[in-house]
Structure 1
Amino acid sequence: MLTDARGITPGGRVSADVCVIGTGPAGAVVAAELAHRGVDVVVVEGGGQRFGPRQADTYRGETVDPHDPLDAVRQKRLGGTSVVWGGRCSPLDDLDLGPREWLDSAGWPVSGPELEPFYRRAQRHLQAGEYEYSAARSGFPLFAPLPSETLDVDSTWRWSPPTSFAGRMRALAGAANVRLLVEATVVRLERDPVSGAITEAVVAPRPGVEITVVARTYVLAAGGLESARILLASDRQSPAGIGNEYDQVGRHYMTHPVGEVGTVVLSELGRNLALGYVATRDGVYARRKLALTAAAQARHELGNLKAALWFPDPMDPSHGDGLLSTFSLTYYALNRARLGFKSAGTHARYASTSGLGQHIGNVAHDWRRVGRFAVSWAAPRITGGRILPSFMPLDGATCRLRFDAEQSSDPANRVTLSRDRDQLGQRRLQVHYGVSTDDRARIRRSMELIGEEFARLGYGTVDMADAARIDDMPFTDGTHQMGLLRMATSPRQGVVDADCRVHGSANLYVAGSAVFPTAGAVGPTLTIAALACRVADHIAAERSVREPLAAS
């Protein structure tokens, strides 16, 4: 049953066996896994079925250092930010999970083999086809990459359709054992001062009104930033907030630094690599990654990084390309309209697009090609087919290299509660964040090595003269919110244990990228869904043990 919490009587109480907070990929997967086992679940979503200024306002915060606006990088609505997710999927590498002394990283208390069965289940939740991330085994055009101890070109990304969990949650709410509350912002959790167990979730459906949700087990799956805020704000029994006895909640904030550098002109050999989007044998879009091997990363003491070919800079209209000008004009307009994700992160720079007249002329001159692309872009959106993941014209003479890089864990990168309050009375978040000089040096060196090896192997000519720009690139993208409630074996080093259970609160789990001890260099959604499956298994196992005891 789907219920608008604004219609519940003030002071009302909702109860279930399990309370899941959040309806994005983490919350939706936990809820679905438990519901299919017959567990009585109430799912609590702070947003409604639509997203507007009222919902966005409660996500505003203060950014002390350069960082995307907090209301631009997340969406408070049914389905969470999955509604604007691009669909890119890839598991973390084994080296992301293991110790790396040169990064002062102890790794994860969970191994790759332990996560693999959950990755396979997550793959199905995200509709990303087979759990296969090798180009050679995925049906890419037959081509044997040249052997290299430095450059890996076989690993891939895969794309979900993309899956939005809004529809999934509406369907799930039709089950007899699921109750879905929307417009139900969790403002704090209450905790038993003796046992540490969570006793209730306090919900504010509208200003000045509170209701409570009571459950035996709670799963906090509200996104990285919001999950940290809820724990910090739950300070009535624990002055520093729940799980924060050692000042770990909100620290170690990591995102993925993203940028484009270099100039690449592909050779015939390089074109044979098929570096654009390829349909796999099971009908899923995929792309090759350009990455340093694990041995090369260890040899040069670098963090992880994934690169891919990117189109020339669209903002300079002298390229004369109608498609590139269409792209630049579109993002210029979205920035002017301040439309969420499309005006944040790497897209924010399009606000300064100039030469608009020349861009319009490029589009007019190249209208046939622009029209063909528009039809191919719109068709799957109308028919419901898989959507081409992004605009990616690689048919020009030159390309750039785009990177998604790992950011190392730093306790100084953190969020705290400010004095400013939103309309529901919640204290807003304050963000302290930056990308270190050491991380920038590692990113720069990684890109130089990738460029050098790409050229040495004969895939094309590479000019990395502008790699120095990495030293002062404005890395402000906050769409991947990792590390804030990190996983660790001790509460002195993190907030949750290896099972994603909050230290000191036996009935509270966290599902989401906030628990990541390291960031890796791939989007977090597949790992989020895998960990959500794992959390659901733990809860289901506990429930099966408890029930016979309760009946005796």
Structure 2
Amino acid sequence: MIFDFDQLSAFNIPPIVIIGSGPAGVTLARTLANKGVDSLILEAGGMELTERTQETCKGKVIGDEYWDLEYSHLKYFGGASNHWSGFCRQLDAVDFEPRDDIDSHLGWPIAKTDLDPYLEPASKILKVPALKEKTISRRLKEIEFALSPPVRFGDSEYEEFFRSSKRANLCLNANVISLRARNGRIEAAEVAGPDGTVTTVRTGFAVICAGGIDNSRLLLWSNEMSEEPVVADSRTLGKYWFEHPHNMGGEVKTHGFPTEYNFPYDWTFLSPTAEAMREFRILNASIRIYHTLGDDSLPKAMARSAFCATRPVSTGVFDRLDVSVKCADPIQLVWEQEPRSENRIELSKQEKDGFGVPRPVLYWKKSKLDYRTAKVALELLGRHLQEKNQGVVHSYEHIIGAKHHPATGWMAGHHHMGGTRMAERPDLGVVDRNLKIFGMANGYVLGSSVFPHGGHANPTFTIVQMSLRLAEHLEATSRAP
């Protein structure tokens, strides 16, 4: 059922309380319901986006230029899926593995094979086909991305599910402001309504799915407010936050370059192999070629060919005539960012939201390895095309210099990862391999904030896989004697 905050105090709370109704929380609640397990989602927003709920998303960014936090994540039914573009791909096996050649790359405490059983059900949920890849050289592979419709986890299909379900419940306008721990358990959540009224919700199991910024923010604030800390070992809490940097890297002219996988748009996706990543000591990356040429009529193609053959002489003529002629396909680079403790979420010491919770402060800056990854990835494409006599790459100066990238266009993916990362031990992360908070018997964190590393793929597909996996764990745990 769906109900509002003013009915929460009279509601019979089920065993599992989920905080947040994005892809993670909705997939978890729906899967649990199908397994016969009751749950309640506490969603800070309503059915539609409002200024009041987005006001609580405001925060400050220190470091490289980044999106306004107020609009980089969303608080209403469906969460971040409401502005998701639909790009889908699973992580590569190498993304889970420790990298001895890169000190900061500790790996995941699980392997890709632990998520593979949820590949098909996640594909069905996101309405995408199985994805493939092929190695085209020792250092380069062509990969396939899929485009979800995109699935909005707050659309009519999901709304109808919650309205008719007797097991999956959704409470709107219920802003969880802190968690209270006692004797190694999350005992309760303090929940505020739109008018500031606060009610206490007792928790059997608490699953925090509030997003890649608010997961850290909620736990940091709860550690200050709770008599017993929710995260007992908080050395990494809020730290190792990262994104997927985006940048236009250059242009490419190709001839005879084979592409196998079709995308709804005329794009080719390439990526370094695991062997190349280790050889050049770089992180994972996606090289995205936008095929803007090749669809002209014959006379137009001949005219463009003549113009491009005389560049740069002809360029000034066409610029003065305000005529745009494309002589090469643009390349966008999207890559894995190095997780560093300096990149982190902290609580503001000066500013609070309307519920009295400190606003987040995001420290975010790209490292030398981040810049070098983009540079080398593009060089791999250039070398491959030269060796095969299939084309030539022109890299932009800021990529060649492996230094500051101009913050123009799409500077990052709105992919908030890290801050509550998964690890083998509490001194390395916040949650264990089953997403349970270290030292807390009934507290879990779900979403991209638990990623130790993020590869280059958009995180939604992996989030859904992890939600399905956690549902199995919670079903077994909640029914254990």
TM-score range, shorter chain: 0.7 to 0.9
- Residue 4 of structure 2 corresponds to residue 4 of structure 1: yes
Whole-Å separation in 2 of the counterparts to 1:230 and 1:114: 28
- Residue 176 of structure 2 corresponds to residue 186 of structure 1: yes
Deviation at 1:396, TM superposition (A): 5.0
How many residues end up aligned between the 2 structures? Answer: 446
C-alpha contact (below 8 Å) 2:368/2:402 kept by paired residues = no
* Structure 2 partner of 1:76: 75
So what's the TM-score if we normalise by structure 1?
A: 0.76
SS state at 1:251 partner = coil
C-alpha contact (below 8 Å) 1:189/1:234 kept by paired residues = yes
Whole-Å separation in 2 of the counterparts to 1:187 and 1:148: 52
- Residue 263 of structure 2 corresponds to residue 277 of structure 1: yes
Deviation at 1:286, TM superposition (A): 9.5
Which digits, 9 at most, give the CA deviation of each residue in 1:120-153, with x for residues without a partner?
A: 2211111112x23237xxxxxxxxx8x4212212
**CA distance 1:469–1:423, change in 2 (3 Å):** farther
Aligned with 1:300 (options 280, 285, 296): 280
* Structure 2 partner of 1:381: none
Aligned with 1:19 (options 4, 17, 20): 17
**CA distance 1:29–1:165, change in 2 (3 Å):** same
Deviation at 1:42, TM superposition (A): 0.7
SS state at 1:234 partner = helix
Whole-Å separation in 2 of the counterparts to 1:239 and 1:311: 58
Which digits, 9 at most, give the CA deviation of each residue in 1:366-394, with x for residues without a partner?
A: xxxxxxxxxxxxxxxxxxxxxxxxxxxxx
Counterpart of 1:457 in structure 2: which amino acid? K
Residue correspondence of structure 1 range 380-391 to structure 2 within 5 A: none
Counterpart of 2:166 in structure 1: which amino acid? A
Which digits, 9 at most, give the CA deviation of each residue in 1:99-126, with x for residues without a partner?
A: 1112222211101211101222211111
* Structure 1 partner of 2:475: 540
Runs of 4+ in 1 over 3 A off after TM superposition: 11-14, 236-241, 285-288
Deviation at 1:240, TM superposition (A): 9.3
Query: Greater CA deviation, 514-523 or 232-241?
Result: 232-241
Whole-Å separation in 2 of the counterparts to 1:478 and 1:308: 14
Aligned with 1:415 (options 345, 348, 351): 345
Counterpart of 2:362 in structure 1: which amino acid? V
C-alpha contact (below 8 Å) 1:275/1:287 kept by paired residues = no
* Structure 2 partner of 1:406: 336
Counterpart of 2:330 in structure 1: which amino acid? R
* Structure 2 partner of 1:166: 154
Aligned with 2:452 (options 506, 517, 539): 517
* Structure 2 partner of 1:350: none
Counterpart of 1:424 in structure 2: which amino acid? F
* Structure 2 partner of 1:336: none
Residue correspondence of structure 1 range 256-267 to structure 2 within 5 A: 256-267=244-255
- Residue 209 of structure 2 corresponds to residue 221 of structure 1: yes
* Structure 2 partner of 1:446: 377
User: What is the percent sequence identity of the aligned residues?
Assistant: 29
Runs (5+) with no aligned partner, structure 1? 136-144, 279-284, 313-319, 321-357, 364-394, 547-552
SS state at 1:224 partner = coil
- Residue 167 of structure 2 corresponds to residue 235 of structure 1: no
C-alpha contact (below 8 Å) 1:13/1:211 kept by paired residues = no
**CA distance 1:397–1:293, change in 2 (3 Å):** same
So what's the TM-score if we normalise by structure 2?
A: 0.87
Deviation at 1:12, TM superposition (A): 5.5
Counterpart of 1:122 in structure 2: which amino acid? A
Residue correspondence of structure 1 range 321-470 to structure 2 within 5 A: 396-418=326-348, 419-464=350-395, 466=397, 467-468=399-400, 470=402
Deviation at 1:446, TM superposition (A): 1.9
**CA distance 1:492–1:276, change in 2 (3 Å):** same
C-alpha contact (below 8 Å) 1:206/1:424 kept by paired residues = no
Whole-Å separation in 1 of the counterparts to 2:260 and 2:37: 46
C-alpha contact (below 8 Å) 1:68/1:478 kept by paired residues = no
* Structure 2 partner of 1:473: 405
* Structure 1 partner of 2:269: 289
Deviation at 1:275, TM superposition (A): 7.2
* Structure 2 partner of 1:177: 167
Which digits, 9 at most, give the CA deviation of each residue in 1:285-337, with x for residues without a partner?
A: 8964211111111111111111111367xxxxxxx9xxxxxxxxxxxxxxxxx
